[in-house]
């Protein structure tokens, strides 16, 4: 009998523990995913709200109206076609086809779900029709439209611009684009992928821009490399394969290898690092992490950390193989280097205004995390500046005293050499009066140095001229 009682007590304790774990997981899920559940386009509350509530207005950082509700309750968008298309994936559409757009993801504000009981009572007493909050975004319509105009004609891709001091997203442009006032046309050609925000949802091999991560790992884990040198013959055998360069660079120091974007040197360094150390650095910089940002949805970048062969490790060190990243994540990495190794959450919401004219509290961002030693970040900045002054990124250089730090990338996407590589540029302006970080991706654009870098220069110069 005593044995039975002990077993019953043990069973009860196990059930209580399981119940406690279930409650804890539920609370965790509500805290981190609650906003995403509410804003899900399939949530019937959203459809019901659109029938009963006047949806709030969406504006850019300068007050330019991007979306609003007219007198008859219809959702309308900016009257200028170029503007509508430049911000289409950010703002979204009335039908929720772009689930990551503000009109859907922040419906809890725009449809008044965040209104307090007192606000609802006030509306009822005064007879005011129920109206949602107005949302002001951090993006610049002017900069977004300029990016759309300057992007290589007929190409797909994305450009992200961040203010690395305030963490504000100044532009988040994805191509191809669609007109939210003509969704039939957008839906008739879904293969074009205009409904996908490539800045936050597009996962691409980062190519040589990933060498920022590899260099960070080398400086962190292999500090005694001041006398390092490697003879680049354009070919480095590893395992059953070889890592190659377009040409032989000859003897390379660590600095020269980064400036010249030497694949073979970084492949050799990867063998010294091993996938555990390189993988740990990649994860500290956001790879394999779940980006539960409050203001926007960003798909998770990936770096393989299991079952890596020597050749997989070598290729991953130069951003090829199974490494994938979004343009937004690469912009965040650039911002992290600019901030001395501290990573911040990007912000898309600038302000939320209630019907009564008050300011609603913005969602609280995650605490910034130091992911690299400041000395490591400062050294990487030095090398990124050299890339732009005398390396593969010279076409990103600015005049008038502005110093650009950057890294180019040409990510191979096929064994067929006739298929052009994805062109990348990732970097930032080091000057305090122009704290802009940028990520440029042109799908099948070719060389990052000749295609993405010049576009980055134009965009950064435009941001300076606008004075964001």
Q: Does residue 332 contact residue 262 with C-beta atoms inside 8 Å?
A: no
pLDDT score of 197: 96
What percent of the chain stands above pLDDT 90? 71
Phi, psi of 363 (to 5 degrees): -60, 140
- Encoded tokens for 290: 């779940």
The domain 207-348+364-466 having CATH identifier 3.40.710.10: the answer here is: yes
What's the pLDDT band for 1 if we cut at 50, 70, 90?
A: low
| Top-ranked range on mean pLDDT: pick from 19-28, 106-115, 320-329 | 320-329
Q: Write down the pLDDT at residue 29.
A: 41
Least confident stretch, 125-134, 224-233, 351-360, 402-411: 125-134
Quote the CA–CA distance of 37 and 256 in Å, as a whole number.
Answer: 49
Q: Which residue has the higher pLDDT, 38 or 465?
A: 465
Domain regions of the chain by residue span = 207-348+364-466
- pLDDT at res. 308: 75
DSSP letters spanning 272-336? HHHHHHHHHHHHHTTTT-----SS---PPPB---SS--HHHHHHHTTT-TT-BB-HHHHHHHHHH
**pLDDT at residue 363 is higher than 60:** yes
Mean pLDDT confidence for 194-211: 97
pLDDT value at 221 more than 80: yes
- Burial of 215 from C-beta contacts in 10 A (0-12 / 13-18 / 19+): buried
Q: Is the peptide bond before 156 cis (omega within 30 degrees of 0)?
A: no
Number of H helices, E strands in the chain: 17, 16
Q: Which residues of 84-118 are buried (b: 16+ CB within 10 A; e: fewer)?
A: bbbbbbbbbbbebbbbbbbbbbbbbbbbbbbbeee
Q: Could you give the 3-state DSSP secondary structure of residue 38? A: helix
- The pLDDT, as a whole number, for residue 223 is 83
How confident is the model over 396-414, as a mean pLDDT? 95
Q: How far apart are CA 421 and CA 230, in angstroms?
A: 26
**pLDDT mean over 445-459:** 97
Instruction: Please tell me the predicted confidence (pLDDT) of residue 18.
Output: 67
Q: Which pLDDT belongs to residue 28? A: 42
pLDDT digits (tens, 9 = 90+) for 19-77: 666 665 444 444 444 444 445 555 555 555 566 788 999 999 999 999 999 988 899 99
Whether residue 78 contacts residue 136, with contact meaning beta carbons closer than 8 Å, is answered with: no
């Amino acid at each position: 009998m005593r044995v039975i009682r002990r077993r019953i007590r043990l069973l009860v304790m196990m059930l209580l523990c399981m119940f406690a774990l279930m409650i804890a997981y539920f609370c965790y899920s509500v805290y981190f995913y609650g906003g995403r559940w509410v804003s899900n386009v399939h949530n019937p509350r959203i459809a019901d709200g659109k029938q009963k509530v006047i949806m709030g207005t969406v504006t850019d950082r300068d007050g330019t109206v991007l979306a609003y509700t007219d007198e008859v309750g219809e959702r309308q968008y900016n009257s200028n076609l170029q503007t509508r298309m430049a911000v289409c994936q950010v703002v979204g559409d009335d039908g929720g086809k772009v689930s990551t757009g503000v009109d859907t993801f922040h419906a809890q504000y725009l449809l008044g779900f965040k209104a307090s009981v007192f606000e609802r009572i006030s509306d009822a007493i005064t007879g005011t029709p129920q109206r949602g909050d107005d949302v002001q975004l951090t993006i610049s319509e002017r900069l977004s439209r300029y990016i759309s105009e300057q992007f290589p004609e007929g190409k797909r891709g994305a450009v992200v611009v961040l203010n690395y001091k305030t963490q504000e997203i100044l532009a988040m442009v994805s191509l191809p684009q669609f007109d939210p006032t003509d969704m039939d046309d957008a839906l008739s050609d879904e293969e074009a992928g205009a409904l996908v925000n490539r800045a936050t949802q597009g996962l691409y091999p980062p190519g040589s821009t990933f060498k920022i991560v590899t260099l960070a790992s080398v400086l962190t884990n292999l500090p005694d490399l001041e006398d390092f040198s490697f003879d680049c013959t354009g070919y480095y055998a590893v395992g059953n394969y070889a890592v190659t360069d377009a040409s032989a660079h000859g003897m390379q120091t660590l600095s020269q290898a980064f400036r010249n974007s030497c694949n073979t040197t970084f492949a050799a360094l990867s063998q010294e690092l091993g996938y555990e150390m390189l993988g740990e650095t990649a994860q500290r910089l956001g790879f394999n992490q779940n980006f539960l940002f409050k203001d926007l949805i960003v798909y998770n970048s990936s770096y393989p950390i299991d079952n890596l062969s020597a050749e997989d490790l070598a290729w991953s060190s130069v951003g090829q193989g199974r490494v994938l990243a979004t343009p937004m994540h690469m912009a965040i990495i650039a911002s992290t280097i600019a901030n001395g190794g501290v990573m911040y959450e990007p912000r898309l919401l600038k302000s939320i205004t209630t019907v009564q004219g008050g300011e609603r509290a913005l969602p609280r961002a995650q605490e910034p995390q130091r992911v690299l030693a400041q000395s490591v970040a400062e050294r990487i900045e030095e090398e990124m500046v050299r890339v732009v002054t005398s390396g593969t990124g010279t076409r990103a250089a600015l005049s008038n005293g502005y110093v650009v730090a950057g890294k180019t990338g040409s990510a191979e996407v096929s064994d067929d050499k006739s298929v052009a590589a994805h062109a990348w540029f990732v970097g930032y302006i080091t000057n305090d009066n122009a704290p802009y970080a940028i990520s440029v991706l042109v799908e099948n654009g070719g060389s990052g140095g000749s295609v993405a870098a010049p576009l980055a220069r134009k965009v950064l110069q435009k941001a300076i001229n606008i004075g964001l």
